[in-house]
Structure 1
Amino acid sequence: MNASNNTPLCYANTSTPYMYAPDMGKIYFSASFSALGLTSNLIAFIVLIKSCQQTKSRSRSFFLIFLAGLVVTDFMGLLVTGSFVISFYITWVDWRQFDPTCHFCNFMGMSMVFYGLCPLLLGATMAVERFVGINCPFARSTNITKGRTVSMVLMVWFFAGCISLLPLIGFGSYHIQTPGSWCFLNISPERHDWAFSLLFSFVGLICIAVSFLLNTVSLVTLIKVCCGPDRNQRRRDHEVEMMVQLILIMTIATVCWCPLLVFIAQTALSGSPMNVRYLLIWIRFATWNQILDPWVYILFRRSVLKRLYPRIDLPQRSIMTSYASFSENMRRFTRPSLGNLSSHDKENVEKSNVAPPSTVKPSA
């Protein structure tokens, strides 16, 4: 079907030549990829629910809510997009004939943008939460509740959803992409397409930059507190665990998404034709983010690390533990001679320490 006035916009292919090639990919790869990601996120979600029920730390429970939002987002993203791709390889359907009104193509494009931006936005939001929690713990403890934390997750979803809906009102457009199994934003010199491409790219890059900056400051602050003179005033083991997980989430998002975001921005700014081959490579690369994210929490938990490395020296102890240790050390220091003696010997020592009555008569 050639582009014409009667051709729907999503099939006009104003940016790149579209090629219908159902034999270009393999269903086994897509099915295995989706199954691995769905299973990983499902396991992570079950572990998160159990941790939420067992945790007694408020900051930890808030962080788990954000993690649960991230896991749900990744799971739904793989489920929706994977269903479209797998069904394409099973049926070899040509969307230009099956979906002449572009409803499925627009929905697929919206899903790609929404489930692509959500992990980046949630990562930046988690970085902000940890930054406030570490640097302003008292202000955070009075202002943040579980209800507000859930509201923040919903606001992230709402913001990403608003961006994904922009092409439906004329700001940008979604187009079918080679080999015909998916739709994505149209990177073309047209003003609306150009602006929407840069919006998608810059929002993602800004989220990564904010995460990197705030996580770096939080990490430096946490190291200073843990190694400083006041290291035993607050419980730090949960905070270090959360910080390690957040750093890993940020690293995975950066490695997986930066090539695609930079590629889109570079193509839009240069005005050069888009390289379909690189687009496919970077899209598949970005999808690994949804598979690797859940394993950060599944593997990098204190309970798991203790089993793998029993001798691991986890961070600082709580106040009560420090106080008990201090009391025991003081008791041993004040009574060194009694610490290693039996009860009978202790009684003898105590009796020997009693001064005998004086035998010297007072002078007249």
Structure 2
Amino acid sequence: MTENDTVEFRHTQDNRIAMGCMLGLICIVTIIGNCLVLLAICTCRHLRSISNLYIGNLALVDFIIGVCTMPITVWTLSLNSWQLGQAGCLVTATIDNLAIACSLWTLAASAVDRCFAILRPFKYNRLMNKNIARSMLGAVWLLSLCLALCPVIGWDSYVYSWFSFSCGINPAAKGHDRYFFLFYTLVALIIPLVVVVACYIPIYIVSRRANKIHASQTQPGHSKRQMQAAFLVIIIVSVFTLTTLPIMTVGMLSWLKVIDSIPLLAAIVFHIMLYSNSALNPILYGVFNTSFREVYKSMLNCEWGLKRRTLMARRRASSLRDPSFVNTKKKNDRPSDRYDILKS
């Protein structure tokens, strides 16, 4: 495909409409799905485990992508040009690269947590707590922000890419700026993936050994939950790798000057795959995690609101019959967990 053919294909209205509809649908699913995840973790105490803190952080990153960058891409696609200027380019590209780095390092931190929990369970229960997990996530955000701000402070620059209708790192930069793409790919992508693989190899060995001795029948419930959480992270990492690998491979080949450009249809497919990862994660939680699936059902069926109103009405009726009811009832007897309300 020649350059003229590519430009002509880029300006085809039907092509832009099809891609805009797909990205718009992905944007809606991303926002709604990750809202459900965040709401479930915030409202259900049994979901506020250490492993789910990483899932909540990943959902927050995907929600930011769905709110901040996807709508701008759809809008730019409909106009067929960038209308936000260099400042808008810097902001959207910074958010995109922050999200990519934060997502992978969150998965790496979660992999380290699962590896520690499964291989050293007693030491894990003694040393690990939610404050340490929050500190790890804070370090992840700080590292990701530093990486995303490098082009803003002068190392390389963010440029608008016509085939993706968005701003990003320029892999074809020259001079000193040329090495930023390699640095970002190494720190934000390759290193966290290596950490994930290094953590899950021993987890896989332990799980295989457990299956051979039929430990699943006698394994404590806590250990089973740890293995299920680890399996969920493996699925998330696999999907993330499959959806981001094509576009990153193209960027690396462009950096190596192996290719100058790719067909626009391939670029469209690769970018749809990249954005679809944010929409797939909430679906994966519901498919592979029973607790999330039950909370999803209760939220979609509006059962929680009905149960809560019924419970509050009973409490008011009891307090009217016995004024000392509210004062004498123990604090620990109150249904502080919305999931407990569902099961009552």
Q: Fold conserved (TM > 0.5)? A: yes
Q: What does 1:119-268 align with in structure 2 at a 5 Å threshold?
A: 119-178=103-162, 181-203=165-187, 204-225=189-210, 228=213, 232=218, 234=220, 235-268=222-255
TM-score (norm: length of structure 1): 0.69
Q: CA–CA distance in 2 between the matches of 1:34 and 1:197?
A: 27
Match of 1:65 among 42, 47, 53: 53
2:178 maps to amino acid: W
| Residue 73 (structure 1) shift | 0.6
Paired with 1:82 and 1:65, the residues of 2 have a C-alpha distance of 24
The 1-side partners of 2:155 and 2:60 are apart by 28
- The unaligned stretches of length 5 or more in structure 2 are 1-5, 295-344
Does 224-233 or 235-244 show the bigger shift?
224-233
Show the 5 A alignment for 1:306-317.
none
User: For 1:133 and 1:117, how far apart are their aligned partners in 2?
Assistant: 24
Once the two structures are TM-superposed, the CA of residue 119 in structure 1 deviates from its matched residue by 1.4
41, 48, 52: which one pairs with 1:48?
Answer: 41
The answer to whether the aligner puts 1:294 opposite 2:282 as a matched pair is yes
Give a deviation string over 1:193-245, Cα, whole Å, max 9, x none.
42121122223133223212311211221343465598747432211210221
Q: Is the 8 A contact 1:73 1:115 kept in 2?
A: yes
What letter corresponds to residue 54 of structure 1 in structure 2?
A: H
Q: 2:238 & 2:33 partners in 1: Cα distance? A: 18
2:27 paired with 1:34: yes
TM-score, L = length of structure 2: 0.73
| Larger displacement relative to structure 2 (195-204 or 147-156) | 195-204
- Report the AA paired with residue 246 of structure 1: V
Letter in 2 for 1:25: R
SS at match of 2:260: coil
Cα pair 1:20 1:180 within 8 Å, conserved = no
- Residues 172-181 or 116-125, more deviating: 172-181
Aligned mates of 1:167, 1:280 — CA distance in 2: 25
Distance 1:205 1:133, change over 3 A: same
Write the letter of the residue equivalent to 1:28. C
User: Cα 1:180–1:302, aligned 2, differ >3 Å: closer, same or farther?
Assistant: closer
Q: 1:49 is aligned with what amino acid?
A: C
CA separation in 1, counterparts of 2:203 and 2:259?
Answer: 40
Which letter does structure 1 place at the counterpart of 2:101?
A: L
Which residue in the other structure is 1:331 paired with? none
Would the aligned equivalents of 1:189 and 1:271 in 2 still touch at CA under 8 Å?
A: no
Highest Rg: 1 or 2? 1
Report the structure, 1 or 2, having the larger helix content.
Answer: 2
Kindly indicate whether the alpha-carbon contact (under 8 Å) linking 2:24 and 2:74 is maintained by their aligned counterparts in 1: yes
Number of residue equivalences: 282
Question: Which residue matches 1:8?
Answer: none
| Identity, % of aligned positions | 19
The aligned residue for residue 105 of structure 1 is 89
Q: Indicate the residue corresponding to 1:337 in structure 2.
A: none
Alignment-derived partner of residue 16 in structure 2: 25
The structure-2 alpha-carbon separation of the partners of 1:300 and 1:229, relative to structure 1 and needing over 3 Å to count, comes to closer
Q: Deviations over 1:248-294 (max 9, x none)?
A: 11110111112222222222123542436344432222212111111
Structure 1 residues 107-164: Cα deviation after superposition (integer angstroms, max 9, x where no partner) = 1111221112221111111111111111122332232211111121121111111101
What corresponds to 1:319 in structure 2? Answer: none
CA distance in 1, matches of 2:276, 2:21: 16
- The C-alpha deviation readout for 1:75-124, integer Å capped at 9, x for no partner, is 1112111221233355x28436x52xx10011111122111222111111
Check the 8 A contact 1:188/1:194 in 2, yes or no.
yes
Amino acid across the alignment from 1:249: I
The amino acid of 1:292's aligned partner reads L
Structure 1 unmatched ranges of 5 or more: 1-15, 307-364
Distance of aligned partners of 1:107 and 1:29 in 2 relative to their CA distance in 1, 3 Å threshold: same
How far apart in 1 are the matches of 2:194 and 2:209? 23
Over the residues paired in the alignment, what is the CA RMSD in angstroms?
3.0
**What letter is aligned with 2:69?**
T
